[in-house]
Structure 1
């Protein structure tokens, strides 16, 4: 497999079949966060998270924290953050950008957390991780075990329905008819191997004693545009539209990402999934 720079990487898949991103920090920084789609994602999270989470400076575990943007956002708001990221160059970039903050960055995959960082944690963030796992259902169960009673999980996943819709818009009709939408984890392609559906998240939350308290769509319009925003004024207008419809039916359901707040229910509590 090829990568940026001089580092050679044998495979993008772990022995468990999960997709890791060793050697791809430059690609994420440039092709995602260096463009409007990444900027929109961060700007929308900046608005959505304070309304979807009860944030009071509690310790936070950032699972699959990548380049560290979310950990930095939490640190700026008074949280002691433990960032876990298995990709070496991602972790190195995160440590560089977060030097001097309240973030501790560790080279851990999600599967190692019950043994290494069992918590219980009052706040866990896991954004754009489950869709790269061979078994996202088991991954969510692992996260649920790490939560303190009444703890909050901020979960963001790549939306299977949005992937289908965007492929139709692009004219990939045969692929959609054959339901060949998931990526294979090869080369440097960034199509997730396990895109997820809303009903799956609801069902798996219920299995693990989690209540879904908030839902939102991230990038409900941008990824279907023929042309990206041409200037700052167009970007500002698009951001306003994205924000306005991020939690409004039916638009949020076609967001490129689905953003959830899940709360750990006390034992024997009645689930209130919506």
Structure 2
């Protein structure tokens, strides 16, 4: 009897080449939200979002909403939230965490939102999504197309420059010199496939008629510590440092994530300057 070759493993990438997280919800939750770094990220967002956004209970489209933390934050502040997420496993976890909240859920990738949830929206949140897409530039154009004039996009991206510095700190000098920073999207590794720079966000925002109104760095110090803080007092000191410098140049530029408020102006730039 002839032995058949083993079936090839299913690709962890979508047909568009994007990284989705079916089969990785537990690792995703533990790596990105579990432990001190995840707590710090959420604590910083809790302070920064009300400072950086004009919030008045408007409906929110949460793009790539993952496990539902951000959707829950907005729902608790009386926003009607629509959460869009391509991974069925992540969406099931989000439904569990959002029980009791008024949140609508859509299982759909970002690329299909113009057909599924066209809006236009006065507030869109897209946190830690573009870095997992094969074509983040087109994705930002899609998000811009969903905004109403005067609408805000809360965008958070994984910072390529911070990833380079982190590799240098760890001694990965050859990798940093070669600029081999992207993940491959294989197995269970969670290095983003498209880490982004501030310069890219500036250029792509301008291409799509979006103005950068606010910017901050998320975890500008924490990821470079030799050892994480061991005591509650040290964790409080680290949070105080992060809060003090997260919007101060040059520190924000080396945040592990870069958090933006982008706005579609109510008038075209040429009219506004006439």
TM band (smaller chain): over 0.9
Q: Residues of 2 paired with 1:257 and 1:91: CA distance? A: 23
**Are the structure 2 counterparts of residues 269 and 79 from structure 1 closer, same or farther at C-alpha, using a change threshold of 3 Å?**
same
Residue 116 of structure 1 pairs with residue 116 of structure 2: yes
Q: Residues of 2 paired with 1:38 and 1:242: CA distance? A: 14
Is the radius of gyration larger for structure 1 or structure 2?
2
Give 1:269 shift: 2.6
**Are the structure 2 counterparts of residues 21 and 82 from structure 1 closer, same or farther at C-alpha, using a change threshold of 3 Å?**
same
Give 1:271 shift: 9.8
Residue 79 of structure 1 pairs with residue 84 of structure 2: no
Tell me the equivalent position of 1:98: 98
Q: Residues of 1 paired with 2:213 and 2:248: CA distance? A: 15
Residue 266 of structure 1 pairs with residue 255 of structure 2: no
Q: In angstroms, what is the RMSD of aligned CA positions?
A: 1.3
Contact 1:265/1:271 (8 A) holds in 2: no
Tell me the equivalent position of 1:167: 167
Matches within 5 A, 1:195-274: 195-270=195-270
Structure 1 residues not aligned, in runs of 5+: 1-8
Tell me the equivalent position of 1:52: 52
SS at match of 1:79: coil
SS at match of 1:36: helix
Give 1:60 shift: 0.3
Give 1:195 shift: 0.5
Contact 1:206/1:271 (8 A) holds in 2: no
Structure 1 segments (4+ residues) deviating >6 Å: none
Q: Residues of 2 paired with 1:248 and 1:13: CA distance? A: 37
TM-superposition CA deviations, 1:107-163 (whole Å, max 9, x none): 111001000100000000000000011010000000000001100000000001000
Q: Residues of 2 paired with 1:59 and 1:88: CA distance? A: 23
SS at match of 1:142: helix
Tell me the equivalent position of 2:63: 63
Give 1:25 shift: 1.1
SS at match of 1:70: helix
Give 1:267 shift: 3.9
TM-score, normalization by structure 2: 0.94
SS at match of 1:164: helix
Give 1:234 shift: 1.2
SS at match of 1:51: helix
Q: Residues of 2 paired with 1:31 and 1:162: CA distance? A: 18
Matches within 5 A, 1:173-188: 173-188=173-188
Tell me the equivalent position of 1:144: 144
TM-score, normalization by structure 1: 0.94
Tell me the equivalent position of 1:107: 107
